[in-house]
Structure 1
Amino acid sequence: MDFRDNLPLGNHPAAIRQRIETMEALLERSLTVPGTSYRIGLDAIAGLVPVVGDLVTAAMGAYIIWEARNLGMPKWKLWRMAGNLGFDTAIGAIPLVGDAFDMLFRSNTKNLKIIRKHLDKHHPASQVIEG
């Protein structure tokens, strides 16, 4: 076993998985709404800044899709993920309605689920046992 196997850097599936999971957590569930147990992330907060916030979080979500491409995922899965992100970005850009939508529709979480399913099937050694 090489020491690099434990690093989040590199192009091996475990490192890519860790980067994707970190980005998803930042975008979708990095903060708790005060007085509740509901978690939101940068996607919902940045969406409050018209246009720029939605573009920034869309670029961050596109990074997740780019990493999925690096895993060699099939194009149809990448298109599905791009559809999730595009839908989130388009509706999220609508003033007020989009802000509420960003709190409920978590495209990055949906995309992470697609990636995890792919990794679990094609790269089972990249699985993380949570406990």
Structure 2
Amino acid sequence: MTALALTPAKAATRARIIRLEHLLEGMVNVPVIGRVGLDSLLGLAPGIGDLAAGALGVYLIWEARNLGASRGTQIRMLANVGLDTLLGSIPVAGNIFDLFFRSNTRNLKLIKRLL
């Protein structure tokens, strides 16, 4: 994969993606558990919360597409979000899964590799 030139517009997009990932995955430090974000908190609302978190994850994929991510990278990102949304929707076990499988953090790493 070839790294893209970081233009001012791409740098702004990258900063926006980093802020969203922090909001979704690490906005609050919880003793014993560690950092949790909106993804885990939304997952506490059965069904709709996981769909909302998944929609925010898809937005990160959209931004990666706009940055020029390859189709393969986009598919990997979609698989991460899909797995997180699907397994996260399982009551109780899904909430625990959300604490450890951070699809948005994984996707941010893919985007950073791209840039």
Asked whether the two chains share a fold, i.e. TM above 0.5, the reply is yes
The share of aligned pairs that are identical, in percent, is: 49
* Cα-Cα RMSD: 1.0
**Does residue 13 of structure 1 match 2:14?**
no
Q: Specify which of 53, 58, 62 is matched with residue 54 of structure 2.
A: 58
Runs of 4+ in 1 over 6 A off after TM superposition: none
TM-score between both structures, scaled by the size of structure 1:
0.80
How far apart are the structure 1 equivalents of 2:63 and 2:14?
A: 9
**Unaligned stretches of 5+ residues in structure 1:** 6-11, 120-131
Where do 5+ consecutive residues of structure 2 fail to align? 1-7
Q: CA deviation at 1:36?
A: 3.7
- Residue 70 of structure 1 pairs with residue 63 of structure 2: no
Shift of 1:61: 0.5
Partners of 2:33 and 2:51 in 1: CA distance: 28
State the Cα distance separating 1:108 from its structure 2 match. 0.2
What number of residue pairs does the alignment pair up? 108
Q: Provide Cα deviations, 1:87-112, integer angstroms capped at 9, x if missing partner.
A: 00000000000000000000000000
Determine helix, strand or coil for the equivalent of 1:32: strand
Q: What's the counterpart of residue 30 of structure 1? A: 27
> Which structure has more RCO (C-alpha within 8 Å, separation ≥ 6)?
2
Larger Rg: 1
